[in-house]
Structure 1
Amino acid sequence: MLNTKNDITIRDICAADKPGWENLWQQYLHFYRADVSPEISEKTFSKLCQKQELVGLVAVNDQGQVLGFMHLVYHASTWSDTNYCYIEDLFVDKSARGKNVAESLFNEAYKQAEIRESSRVYWMTQEFNSSARSLYDKIGQRTSFIIYSKR
Structure 2
Amino acid sequence: METPEVGIELVHIRLSTEQPAAPPVIRLAWEQPITDIHGVWHPNGCRNRGMVPDWGAGYASKLTVSSPVVCLFSGAGRNRMTFAFSDTLNPVVCHAGVHEETAVFHCSVTLFEEPVAPLTSYEATLRVDCRDLAYYDSLNHVQMWWSGLPGLTPSPVPRLP
TM-score range, shorter chain: 0.3 to 0.5
Length-normalised TM-score, structure 2: 0.31
Higher strand share: 2
Rg (Cα) greater in structure? 2
Length-normalised TM-score, structure 1: 0.33
Higher helix share: 1
